Amino acid sequence: MDAPTSAADATTLGQRLGTEVLEPLKRSFVGKVEIIDLIGIALVARENLFLLGPPGTATSALIYELGRRIQGRTFEYLLTRFTEPNELFGPFAIRRLREGDLVTNTEGMLPEDDALGALFDRFLIRAVCSNIPDDRLVDMLHAGWRLDRNSRN
């Protein structure tokens, strides 16, 4: 989807985002309506979204499907308490390193006891994606099978 050039274009683009991307995602991902609404807000606001969830909560699948629908690129990285910032934001400056300077700025770095807290706080839009209730499991399985079938076509 291209950037809008007028208010009317922005309205049309917003409507298309809702009908062609967000609503189908809501039908495909059981129990993720609020998360998908936040994704829509992040897209419109042109902000990054930090989506945190334990394994099996469809965070990766949701983002992959979004990327497919908007023909966008996605970035995924499994964070652990040992994840280094340069793994996410790029390596040290090579020029400074060649000069023999390996300067590590520890100001605002992650505290020892809450390894992901400081990173989580740096994103304007952030959400925790949790497991769906047990009574929605059958719905989730059917939705997953439909998604898998559609991705193969």
> What are 50's strand-pairing partners?
126
**What does the pLDDT read at residue 113?**
46
Q: What is the pLDDT of residues 94-131, one digit of tens each?
A: 676 678 776 554 444 444 645 555 566 667 888 888 88
Q: Among all chains, which residue has been given the structure tokens 């193969």? A: 152
Q: Indicate whether 100 belongs to any domain.
A: no
Question: Taking a C-beta distance cutoff of 8 angstroms, is the pair 52, 130 a contact?
Answer: no
**What does the pLDDT read at residue 23?**
95
Give the global pTM: 0.68
State the average pLDDT over residues 45-59: 85
Q: Indicate whether 136 belongs to any domain.
A: yes
How many Å apart are CA 142 and CA 64, to the nearest integer? 18
Question: Taking a C-beta distance cutoff of 8 angstroms, is the pair 133, 31 a contact?
Answer: yes
What total of structural domains would you count in the chain? 1
Q: What is the pLDDT of residues 1-25, one digit of tens each?
A: 556 667 778 788 888 899 999 999 9
**Between 133 and 93, where is the model more confident?**
133
Question: Taking a C-beta distance cutoff of 8 angstroms, is the pair 26, 36 a contact?
Answer: yes
| CB neighbourhood size of 70 (10 A) | 14
Containing structural domain, residue 76: 7-83+126-152
